[in-house]
Amino acid sequence: MPQLKTKVANLDQILRFDLINEELNLTFVPIMLNLYADAIASLKSGGVILYPSDTIWGLGCDARMDASIEKLFDIKNRPENKGLILLISKIEQLSEYVEQVPEIAWDLVEFAEDPLTVIYPKGKNVSQYMLGPDGSIAIRLLKDEFCKGLVYRYQRGIVSTSANISGAASPTDFASISESIKSQVDYILKPENSNKKGGLKSSKIIKLGFGGEYTRI
């Protein structure tokens, strides 16, 4: 059993985002620096973290590490052929993880007001578990400040999947997360209010083709 680390933060005081010359400037309260630092250390060491994502409470790990993703599957008791989502903090990261970004994707993703997961034709620079049978990859550009701050500071995309045992209902708050899940993760990003909900907006899903054709899923 890994040693479980938990930090507490007030999400209402977290940070402020300013986009100036396409650079992301973050203003943090001191506790957030420590909170993110510990979570990032866990991710870098191959750990699986529990955190409030931009939609619901989720499990995350480094998207390049096979062993970390296998551990995530084990925690969820989930088949390895089920899809995963990659979270990114900057639109420029699309080129890092997508072989050929359809032109329509740039505006589609940048100006989406609600969470939008886009399935791109061919992914790269990630674990094999992140790719569909056809080589596609599902990516969401974060707009939620808390989650975006974490991924931005990690400087690479992270895995996102709901924090539930496979087949069970997805948790909307910390209290509804299974104790089995909580006891198996390596780090918990826990708000000051333990019943703090995730982003609470479900993600829309669109699948894009190489030529920009799309299908809503």
What percentage of the chain reaches a pLDDT higher than 70?
Answer: 79
Residue 123 Cα to chain centre, angstroms: 16
Average pLDDT over residues 73-96: 93
Nearest Cα neighbor of 102 from 128, 131, 136, 133 is: 136
Domain at 210, CATH number: 3.90.870.10
Give Cα separations from 177 to 40, 74, 131, 164 (angstroms): 22, 16, 27, 7
Alpha carbon distance 37, 73 (integer Å):
25
Separation CA 174–CA 58 (nearest Å): 10
**112-160 pLDDT, tens digit each:** 888 999 999 999 999 999 999 999 999 999 998 889 999 999 999 999 9
Domain that holds residue 161: 5-216
Count up the domains in the chain and report the number. Answer: 1
